[in-house]
Structure 1
Amino acid sequence: MNHIFAITGSQSGMGLAFRANLERLGHQVIGIDLPGKGAEVTADLSTKDGRNAAVAGVLALCQKPLDGVIANAGIDSEDSRFVFAINYEGVIDVLNGLRPSLAANSGARVLITSSNSMFITPGIPEQAVDHLLCGSLEEAIQIVGSKSNVCYQVSKLALVRWMRARAVEWAKEGITMNAIAPGAVRTPLLERDLIDPVKGPVIRALPKPLGEFPAANDIAGLAAFLLSEQARFIVGQVVTIDGGIEVSWREKDFPSTWQISESDWMNRMKL
């Protein structure tokens, strides 16, 4: 059966790979990207008006309820306000705007592109994450302050926590929400970063148990599965696909046990 999927950031990098793979499988894709990139819907997701335009544009092109959304658009910058606007607020506003269409479907999927950097970067300020989750953007920006080099990780961590906090509620409407956490992916952007005098040495130092980083097509295969009927019982999960970077460094602290009292557990179980 052909499905209709919307993809933000659909015209380059992983978004383009997601698009090409879904179209190869016979699905219709409504791409959302900046003007001049050839997407069906053009919008600047860093602004509220742009997000509203993205939602309206997608709905105008749908002949039936959406089958799924890949929230893929994102940037890495030291401008924390810009990063939070696109990577966090932009994703949430677009997903909330498309939620009624997704809920009208009997088994819709939402997939969020996160990053393995939230697992392997030291010193991510938890308070900034908490402020984003509470809608306190200015406070989050203030806390990041001189640590603007971690605003990307803050945005991705907050987004995953937002997703997990709502996964059950959305699942009751027939919408499963999950996230993928890629690491370094072989794209033109990575090639540019490799020749950067600051980023290049860091990327080359990353562990590669398989001998190479995954290509965008490798990530696209996982995305297609998580959007499929076979993934209907996967809810609120984060799937890391980084060729073994994260497990090379954190092989002993995951999974961890649930530190909860028996009485609290009984309350959760409603026993």
Structure 2
Amino acid sequence: MMNLFDLTNKIVLVTGGTHGLGMAMAEGLASAGAELVISSTTPEKLENALGYYKSKGYKATGYIFDITDEKLASDQVENIEKEVGEIDILVNNAGIIKREMAVDMAIADFRRVIDVDLVGAFIMSQLVGSRMIARGGGKIINICSMMSELGRNSVTAYAAAKGGLKMLTRNLATEWAKYNIQVNGIGPGYFATAQTEPIRVDGHPFNEFIVNRTPAGRWGEPSDLAGTAVFLASEASNFVNGQIIYVDGGILATIGKPANEK
């Protein structure tokens, strides 16, 4: 049974896998035997990430490119397949967020978030997916969000992009299932990362809100995503297609509870 989750000799490309949740998922995939290929737009971040992966004994290679640049992304995917090997698993993790109320948001900022979070994922899926079609199989994992389902103040562009990414996932699964390609998504909840550290202190209103709103009663740990990533990347998910798995401690399952309820 455990062989179903074995990723030995599989090559996985994780876009933006230099920090945070992307790094946690990449580490989980590597621990299951996968060889990592990491993309970034920042040389220093890429160098630091590769140093970390290699210190853990994982095989990892890095490439610098912007996923919204079709020509450069195409060239780098070709380089990856020539220099490392055929990409078996694609994790569309790279993304940005711009927090601004909708009435005040510059159209250029809105377009940039859509371009990175949605169009970039399509570009990468098309580039890698066409090769998977020719080879007769592969796995694509899109990193969605709870904002694929819910709205929230100040994240209009991000929610629009992540909602679109959910439907992109389902449509690619519909078109590519016949080629033995499984396209699924992961929707992380609220996680303890360096970015959320300032608001996770006891007494902070947002910390209290998240802990009380989450049935599990805590923030997620980045390592909580690893198992889902391995499952969707492995043979264990060969008949799972077009699904979004929300790793959120139960937030989307409940309407919540009154503030004074234990």
- TM-score, structure 1 as length reference: 0.75
| 1:60 equivalent among 82, 95, 102 | 82
Q: CA deviation at 1:104?
A: 3.8
Q: 1: distance between equivalents of 2:135 and 2:154?
A: 40
Matched residue of 2:186: which SS?
strand
| 1:43 equivalent among 55, 59, 65 | 65
Call closer, same or farther: CA 1:148–1:57 in 2, change over 3 Å: farther
1:74 aligns with 2:95: yes
Q: CA deviation at 1:157?
A: 0.5
Q: Percent identity over the alignment? A: 26
Q: 2: distance between equivalents of 1:231 and 1:250?
A: 31
- The count of aligned residue pairs is 222
Matched residue of 2:91: which SS?
strand
C-alpha distance after superposition, 1:60-114 (max 9, x if no partner): 3343x32111111111114212211110111100110111322244431110000
Aligned pairs for 1:146-225 (under 5 A) are: 149-192=155-198, 194=200, 201-202=205-206, 204-206=208-210, 207-225=213-231
Q: 2: distance between equivalents of 1:166 and 1:25?
A: 26
| 1:121 equivalent among 123, 135, 151 | 151
Letter in 2 for 1:191: E
Matched residue of 1:209: which SS?
coil
Is the CA contact (8 Å cut-off) linking 1:117 and 1:183 kept in structure 2? no
Is the CA contact (8 Å cut-off) linking 2:29 and 2:229 kept in structure 1? no
| Residue number in structure 2 paired with 1:142 | none
| Residue number in structure 1 paired with 2:56 | none
Is the CA contact (8 Å cut-off) linking 1:176 and 1:232 kept in structure 2? yes
Q: CA deviation at 1:51?
A: 3.0
Alignment RMSD (CA, Å): 2.3
- TM-score, structure 2 as length reference: 0.77
Q: CA deviation at 1:20?
A: 1.3
Q: CA deviation at 1:250?
A: 8.2
Structure 2: any 5+ residue segments left out of the alignment?
1-7, 51-61, 100-108, 258-262
Q: CA deviation at 1:57?
A: 3.6
Structure 1: any 5+ residue segments left out of the alignment?
123-146, 252-271
Q: Which runs of 4+ in 1 moved over 6 A?
A: none
Q: 2: distance between equivalents of 1:21 and 1:175?
A: 21
Q: CA deviation at 1:156?
A: 0.4
Q: CA deviation at 1:35?
A: 2.6
Aligned pairs for 1:7-22 (under 5 A) are: 7-22=14-29
Matched residue of 1:172: which SS?
helix
Is the CA contact (8 Å cut-off) linking 2:145 and 2:187 kept in structure 1? yes
